[in-house]
A and B are shown apart, each in its own frame.
Chain A
Amino acid sequence: MKQLLNGCSVNLAEKRLAFNSLLASNRADLFRLRARRTGTLNAGTGTAGKSGHGEELHLDPSAPTLPVERDRGQSPVMRFLGSETGKGWLTISPPLLYAMLLLIGPIIVIVANSFWSQDYLTIDRTFTLDNYKAALTEPIYRDLLMRSLFVSVTVAFVTVILAYPVAWFVSFHGGRYKGLWLFVITVPFWSGYLLRILSWKVILGYKGVLNSGLLSLGIISEPLNWLIYNVNAVIITLAHSWAAFAILPLFVSLEKLDRSLLEAAADLGDGPVRRFLRITLPLTMPGIVAALMIVMIPTVGDYVTPKLVGGKDGVMIANAIQVQFGKASNWPLGAALAVSTMVIVSIVAGGIVLLLAGLKRLLK
């Protein structure tokens, strides 16, 4: 202990030195530092007002004026950037600006496009609702929209119902290997979207694996022609593709479930089924809703699956949208189709959320 005693006053000169190099090397710090100083000053001299993040400063006229030199010309922008809110926004701004520029911007452009019209290659920017009229009333688009909604809602529910027991198993019986289980289950989702669909085409095809297998086993005498190129094939393929993804939100909500609640319910006389219906299901409802949405919204716009295994009867709205942006080259109509799809799927999603909220209230 003696040794520390000898030199225990801090060497401020060393820190000053560091400060100088800081001035040169780290302007952001200096920036914050200056903003901070004015913040202190304003409040100290009784100039009350709103600081950067809208905090109400304490107004105390009796507070003595502090002997700090007043830093003039400090802009509110600088003060904002020095505050906690400012630092947060500053840090998140690169990815946020990116999302604004390349996601929100383009979506606004698409929405604008949907109110314009196109004559060969020139866009006419006078406001019109014709595209929506076509998108919502022409039988072909109406059918495609309805079919896409049907497929995505079915796929979402099938996926979630099939995935729930698996999420339950991993959460309740996964033990030390929870992480490994999750990894094993989700890997197929992360890899080879196009190839998985191709694989289903190979399995379900007229001369495919299933038919040729059944033929060679003598179970059927000629290939089944209802396996592929219909809505069922699309649903099977999509449900398989998204199965793993639905597990994650379900698993998270099951993990959050306090196990002692189930023990308390058992203690109060509920059997396994009642425990599930009265405790587990209502408390994991947020996970169920999240899983449904995370499957339903992306699948409504799936393009590859209907194209590869859907055939003529399995075409979905994304195929029609693609045609408008490709061969048919009617961007405004394609834009209107895209916007209509998003709006309608959002309404349906909202309806499902309300429905499940109602169901949750019934389970008591």
Chain B
Amino acid sequence: MRFLPNPRRLLSTYVIVYVAILYFPVLLLPVFSFNDSATPKLPLVGFTFRWYESLSGNAAMQGAAWNSLIVGVSAAFLSTVLGICAARAITRHRFRGKAAASSLIMAPLILPEIIIAISLLVVLLGLGLQLSLITVILGHLLICVPYSVTVLVSGFEGFDPSMEEASRDLGETAFGTLRRVTLPMLMPSIVSSLLVTFTISLDEFILAFFLSGTEPTLPVYIWGQLRFAAKLPNVLALGSILIAASLVLLTAAELFRRRAERKMAVRP
């Protein structure tokens, strides 16, 4: 009996293997992006920066990066504004139809993206609109708002509604309360929401693919490059940069979220 591994140990091992497999493909790209070989294969040949260097003079890539930045910043900002409205209504108001309204707002989280993409495409083209970065932003807003709502709902839940009542009670107006109590208390959650939604937008492919017209975002640009086998190492280098950026942004978002928790925690 004693030769059987104990179940707790078995579980820990399983979790470690699981996490390792989760990260393996994500970390594989950077490894091969430094490999001095035109095709990603084992064994590794040697270390090189050249795939990164050749990115620097690539105007099309830089244009795509710029597009991604515009789309990401706009989607992050707008979805956070919409997210604040939704999160506030969900946490602070009691009204009939709330469940239905919030599930509608959260629906893009679970719908296949292709359904969202083609429906938007048909309507936007039907209205005679040109596909552009704006149409991408419109699409990204749909899928960013649910994430923003999730982050901000926990932000609102973290602070006592009587804080806002206390402010009103002490003579402050509704707007003053927003400025002096609600926003300062919510700020870490807002920053966290901005970072998370920016990352979602930065990585999003399907909606951008259908809605971007002639101005590609980075994932759409990468997709285009995949047709050329010779460009693969460059794609790996660019992908590695994107993954690193996402990791940094998400870590920052998490740190802000934790700060929000600490800030609002009241020690008895």
Contact = CB atoms under 8 A, between A and B. Distances in A.
Contact of A190 (B8, B115, B246): B246
A115 B117 CA distance: 19
Given A53-B96, A109-B119, A192-B243, A103 B142 contact: yes
Nearest to B107: A103
Interface string A222-249: 0000000000000000001001100000
Interface in A330-352: 331, 334-335, 338, 341-342
Given A110-B118, A321-B118, A297 B41 contact: no
A203 interface: yes
Q: How large is the interface on A (under 10, 10 to 19, 20 to 34, 35 or more residues)?
A: 35 or more
Contact of B23 (A106, A107, A188): A188
B226 interface: yes
Contacts of B139: 102
Given A188-B26, A191-B199, A207 B39 contact: yes
A102 B142 contact: yes
B101 interface: yes
B239 interface: yes
A162 B145 contact: no
Most B Cβ at <10 Å: residue of A88, A183, A185, A308:
A88
A54 B11 CA distance: 54
A59 B86 CA distance: 36
B86 A338 contact: no
Contacts of B142: 98-99, 102-103
Interface in B1-49: 7-8, 11-12, 14-15, 18-19, 21-23, 25-26, 28-29, 32, 39-43
A335 B110 CA distance: 19
B112 A300 contact: yes
A209 interface: yes
Contact of B89 (A29, A91, A104, A199): A91
A18 B11 CA distance: 63
Contacts of A99: 104-105, 107-108, 142, 145
Interface stretch (B57-65, B157-165, B169-177): B169-177
Contacts of B206: 303-304
Given A99-B142, A192-B246, A298 B95 contact: no
Contact of B203 (A102, A173, A194, A293): A194
B102 interface: yes
B173 A18 contact: yes
B86 A92 contact: yes
Interface in B203-232: 203-206, 210, 219, 222-223, 226
B205 A304 contact: yes
Contacts of A341: 112, 115
A303 B149 CA distance: 26
A209 B42 contact: yes
Given A84-B95, A209-B28, A165 B247 contact: no
A105 B124 CA distance: 11
Nearest to B220: A194
Given A209-B28, A212-B42, A185 B19 contact: yes
B55 interface: no
Nearest to B40: A202
A229 to B, nearest CB: 15
Nearest to B232: A202
Interface stretch (A20-28, A36-44, A70-78): A20-28
Contact of B22 (A21, A95, A244, A335): A244
B265 interface: no
A93 B86 CA distance: 8
B89 A92 contact: yes
Contacts of A342: 112, 115
Contacts of A168: 11
Contacts of B120: 102, 106
29 contacts: A14-B171, A87-B93, A88-B94, A92-B102, A94-B81, A99-B108, A106-B120, A107-B119, A110-B115, A110-B118, A162-B18, A165-B18, A173-B11, A188-B23, A188-B26, A192-B242, A193-B203, A193-B205, A194-B205, A202-B28, A202-B236, A208-B41, A209-B41, A212-B42, A213-B43, A302-B112, A302-B114, A325-B121, A342-B115
Interface of B: 7-8, 11-12, 14-15, 18-19, 21-23, 25-26, 28-29, 32, 39-43, 81-83, 85-86, 88-90, 92-98, 101-102, 104-105, 107-116, 118-123, 126, 138-139, 141-142, 145, 149, 171, 173-175, 196, 199-200, 203-206, 210, 219, 222-223, 226, 235-236, 239, 242-243, 246-247, 250-251, 254, 258
